[in-house]
Structure 1
Amino acid sequence: MGFLADALSRVKPSATIAVTQKARELRAQGREIISLSVGEPDFDTPDNIKAAAIEAIRRGETKYGPVAGILPLREAIARKFRRENGLDYKVSQCIVGTGGKQILFNALMASLNPGDEVIISAPYWVSYPEIVALCGGNAVIVGTTAEHDYKLQPETLEKAINSKTKWVILNSPSNPSGAAYSHDELKALTDVLLRHPHVWVLTDDMYEHLVYGDFVHATPAQVEPALYDRTLTMNGVSKAYAMTGWRIGYAAGPEKLIRAMDMIQGQQTSGACSIAQWAAVEALDGPQDFIAESRKVFEGRRDLVVSMLNQAAYLSVHRPEGAFYVYPSCAEALGKTSEGGRTIESDVDFVTALLEEQGVAVVQGSAFGMGPNFRVSYATTNETLAKACGKIQVFCAGLR
C-alpha cells in the first residue's frame, strides 16, 4: 500500500508554475529572460486600499473573524453584485475565501460525489480539471475553435450534458484565451441549461472589469434569472485591483451551497486574513478610478501584442475581448526546425525552443487543454512587450 493518496495520481502540476521555474533557472545561469508566463497585473495595489489595511491593523482588526468573512466585506460584496451585476444577494448568500481557488475547492468539495461530471470548455484555466479531480469528480473537457474565438457553443454544451453532469464551469473573460461572452452568447448557453435542471453553473468572473472597447460584461444569473437558484457567481479582487498577494476571492449563490462551503472552510482554513478582508472592503466600496485607468493601459498592450504577433511568420492571433492574455496558434510552425536545431513537433517544442533560444517564456497551449497554441500574458510594460514580441518574430523567422 502506497503512502500518498491515490487522488494525487489524477492531478498534474501547474504548467504555468513549471514554466516560471524554468525561466528562473535560466535567469540564475545569467541568461536574460523575458517572462510573459505569469497571470498577474504589474501595477501596485492602489494607495487607498493599502491605507485601509494599515488602518485596520492600527484598529486592532487582527483577531479571528467569521469563517465566511467579516460582515462589512460580505455587505460590500452584496452591494457590488447589486450595483454592477443587477444580482440581489443577502449577506448570508455571500462567502469570502483565500483566493478564488479556495472558493472553487469548497464549492466542488461540497457538491461532488464519485462519478459526478463537471463540464469544462478548452482552453481552460489549468486548475479547473485538477480541482475537480481532487474533489472526486470527473472533468469532461469539451473543445472550442478559433473560428468561434475559443467560446463554448450551445450545441457542444448540449451534447456534453448527461445524467451525471453536476456542474458546468464558465469563465468570462477567459484565462487563457481572453475570450469573453456577450449577453447574447451567454443567453444561448443558458437556454441549454434551462432544459437540464439538474446542472448547476459555476461562473468565474475574476477578469470581469478587464474588458475592452464597447464590450459589456454579463454573467449567467444576470442573463437568465431562472438560473439564480443553481448558480455560484465567483469573483475576487486580485485582477481588477492588483491585489493578487492579498488572497481574497468571494462568491455568492444559494444559501444551502454557501452553508456547505462555510462548513468545509471552517474545518480547512477558517476565515481569510482579516487585514486583507478590510483592504477588500475598501477596494469594493472605495474609488473605482484605478480600474478604468488600468483597463486603458491593458487595452493598449493587447493591441500592441496582437499586432506584432500577427506579423510573425507561422502565427495566427485573434483579438480577445478581455483579461490580459492572447492565445496565438502556432499550428503552421509544426514540422519546422528552429535555428537552434530543435524540431517543432508540438506547442511544447515551440515554447521550449523559444525560451532556450530567444529567452522569452510563454506557456504551451496544451497545458490549457488545447494546442498547438501558447499563452502570452501582456501584464507588463509596453517596452518589455515590444522587445519580447520582437524576439518571437525573430524566432519564427528562423524556422525552416
Structure 2
Amino acid sequence: MTFLSKTLARVKPSPTVAMNQLAQELKAAGRDVIGLAAGEPDFDTPDNIKTAAVAAIAAGKTKYTAPDGIIELKQAICDKFARENGLTYVPAQVSVSTGGKQVLYNAFMATLNPGDEVLIPAPYWVSYPDMVLLGGGTPVIVPTALETGYKLTPDALEAAITPQTKWFLFNSPSNPTGAGYTWDELRALTDVLMRHPHVWVMTDDMYEHLAYDGFKFFTPAQVEPGLYERTLTCNGVSKAYAMTGWRIGYAAGPEPLIAAMRKVQSQSTTNPCTISQWAAVEALNGPQDFLATRCAAFSERRDLVVGMLNDAQGITCPTPEGAFYVYPSVAGCLGKTSAAGILIDSDQAFATALLDETGVAVVFGAAFGLSPNFRISYATSTEALTEACTRIQTFCAGLSG
C-alpha cells in the first residue's frame, strides 16, 4: 500500500513469532504439533511476585508513573547491578521499559543517524537488525562459526569496526545459540573496544541467570571498567523470573543517554505497566533461591536435547553454556529428500518439511542470520522434548539422496 512508511518496508515481521503462531494455529485445527519455537519459560511466575502485584492493585497503585519507571524499581535495579555485577549506578542512570525489546529500540531511536553502523554478531536474535533499521541505522552482521562455539572472535570484531560504527550489540548467553562468553573471552573483545573509543557497547544480558555447568556470567562493563561511560547494560525480568507477559525490561548507562531514551519513551508508550513494575521490585529484591532449581531443570533438558540431536543423522549440535536454546547444524541433511519427497536445500526447507511431516515446530537458522541451522527452545517438558527429538531423529533417518 502506497501510504505506508518507506521505513516499514525495510523491516520484516519476527520469524520466531510467526512460527509460534503457525504452530498454535495448527494445534487449534487439530494437528499433533509440538511447538519448540517460542523463547518462553514454561515455569510459572513465582508466587511472591504475583502476591506483590495483587497487593499493588489492592493499594491503589494503578496510576501513571514516571515515563521510565518508579524510583523503587530503579533503586532495586541499582541494587541488583551492584550485588550481582559489581556495577555502580544511581536511579537517574536507569531506564525501565515495556520489555527488554523496547529498551534496545529506545536506545537506537535516541542515538542512530543515517550512515551509523551497528555491529551484530550472527547468529543473532531476530529483532536486532530490524530495530536498527527502524532507528535509521545500518546493521553490520559479523558471522561466527560452529568451530568457535558460535562466539565472536577478537579478530572478527576488529575487522568489522569502521569510522561509522556507533554501537556493538553483544548478547551472552546468546539467543539463539546459548553460547556464553568467559571472562577471558570477554576481555579479548573489550581490549579491541578500548582501542576504538567511538564505539559504544549495548549488552543484552536477558539470560544472565540461565547458565550451566559452572559457567559464570560476566557483562562487558564489569570486565573492563574503562567501557563504563559508553556502555548501556540491558536486562529484564522476562526469562529468569518467568515474567514474559509482565513486560518489564531495564537498562543502566550514562545519564545523557538515559535521558534521551526517556524522551523517546515519553512520546511513545509512556510508563510501563504500573502493576508489573511493583511485581518487578519484588522479583529483584525478593528470594532468589528458585533460580538454581530452575537452572538445574533447564540443564537436564539441555543435555537431553543435545544428546538426542547428535544421535540424529546429519545433525551436529554443540552444548551451549546458557539460555534455553540449542542451535544445531543441518549441513549433513542438505541436498537430501524427505520421506514426503521434499528437497532439503536450505534450513528453511528443513524446518518447513519437519513441521509438515512430523508436527515439530522449530525456527530455521536463516531467520537468525546464520545457516544451515535451526533453533530449538527447550523451555518445555521433558516428555515433549523427548517426543520431539524422537520425531526429528525419525525424520532425519528418512532422508535420502
TM-score by length of 2: 0.99
Partner residue, 1:342: 342
CA deviation profile, 1:291-330 (whole Å, cap 9, x unmatched): 1111110000000000000000000000000000000000
Name the aligned partner's letter for residue 205 of structure 1: D
- The CA deviation at 1:253 is 0.3
Name the aligned partner's letter for residue 325 of structure 1: Y
Partner residue, 2:188: 188
Give distance in 2, aligned partners of 1:384 and 1:68.
39
Partner residue, 2:122: 122
User: For the Cα contact (< 8 Å) 1:305–1:386, is it kept in 2?
Assistant: yes
Give distance in 2, aligned partners of 1:330 and 1:310.
11
Name the aligned partner's letter for residue 346 of structure 1: S
Name the aligned partner's letter for residue 375 of structure 1: R
Give distance in 2, aligned partners of 1:36 and 1:69.
33
Give distance in 2, aligned partners of 1:28 and 1:246.
25
Partner residue, 1:396: 396
Give distance in 1, aligned partners of 2:334 and 2:381.
30
Partner residue, 1:175: 175
Partner residue, 1:371: 371
- The CA deviation at 1:2 is 2.5
Partner residue, 2:299: 299
Partner residue, 1:50: 50
Give distance in 2, aligned partners of 1:195 and 1:24.
48
Name the aligned partner's letter for residue 299 of structure 2: E
Give distance in 2, aligned partners of 1:344 and 1:121.
26
SS at structure 2 position matched to 1:6: coil
SS at structure 2 position matched to 1:21: helix
Partner residue, 2:270: 270
- The CA deviation at 1:147 is 0.5
Structure 1: stretches of 5+ with no match in the other structure: none
SS at structure 2 position matched to 1:211: coil
Give distance in 1, aligned partners of 2:338 and 2:353.
7
Name the aligned partner's letter for residue 277 of structure 2: Q
Percent identity, aligned pairs only?
Answer: 64
Residue 247 (str. 1) matches residue 265 (str. 2): no
- The CA deviation at 1:27 is 2.1
Partner residue, 2:103: 103
Name the aligned partner's letter for residue 21 of structure 2: Q
Name the aligned partner's letter for residue 70 of structure 1: I
- The CA deviation at 1:272 is 0.5
- The CA deviation at 1:24 is 2.6
Residue 77 (str. 1) matches residue 77 (str. 2): yes
Give distance in 2, aligned partners of 1:21 and 1:59.
37
Name the aligned partner's letter for residue 110 of structure 1: A
TM-score by length of 1: 0.99
